[in-house]
Amino acid sequence: MHPKLRETLQEIEDDDILKQLIGWFQDLVDGTIGQELETRSLQGLRITHARKGYLRSEFAVPSLAADVNGNWHGGAIAILMDAVGAVAAYSAFHHVIKSVDFSISHYSTAKIQEEVVVEAKVVGNHDKLVQVMMEARMKANNELIASGKMWAALNNFAITTTSSKL
């Protein structure tokens, strides 16, 4: 198991592929793999629950992911939701995905260091397409910050440590 996985994960199914996937995702959060923009947007993310087709994570909005007014930047929200959505899809189908349609609706915002909960859940699939719904909410009061929807295409590629996308 990934060394930091024990520190952050509260609940995970006993699934070796899921554990490998979460370890890979932890490397992305830590900046061991991926691009700077992903690392900045995911900084400090903690996975609290993972099962086939579902991922729940929490984090305090980092200053590197904020706009000039100290609000969680819309682009950083999109990067985070894309990443957790991709992990949820991969966990359900054990295939790498490529987003083909991605939309986010913003309802409110969070400030630097405010605690946020982000969830992604696979809600459907049709042939090689999978749909994932994502939500970001304030941890303190459950206020909806943003909701997103992703349609993604499945392929047969494997996870590697040199790629920044699932």
Query: Taking the domains of the chain in order of start, what are their residue ranges?
Result: 5-155
Specify the pTM: 0.80
Contact 57, 83 (CB under 8 A): no
Question: How many other β-carbons are positioned within 10 Å of the β-carbon of residue 105?
Answer: 9
Tell me the C-alpha distance between 100 and 59, whole Å. 27
pLDDT of residue 14: 60
Residue 20 has pLDDT above 60, yes or no: yes
pLDDT of residue 156: 64
pLDDT of residue 80: 93
Tell me the C-alpha distance between 150 and 85, whole Å. 7
pLDDT confidence bin for 40, thresholds 50/70/90: confident
Q: In this structure, what DSSP letter does residue 111 have?
A: B
Question: pLDDT tens digits for 52-98?
Answer: 899 999 999 999 999 999 999 999 999 999 999 988 988 888 777 78
Which helix (H) or strand (E) is 79 found in, with range? helix 74-93
Tell me the C-alpha distance between 94 and 105, whole Å. 28
Q: What CATH class does 5-155 carry?
A: alpha beta
pLDDT of residue 10: 47
Question: pLDDT tens digits for 87-133?
Answer: 898 888 877 778 889 999 999 999 999 999 999 999 998 888 899 99
pLDDT confidence bin for 1, thresholds 50/70/90: very low
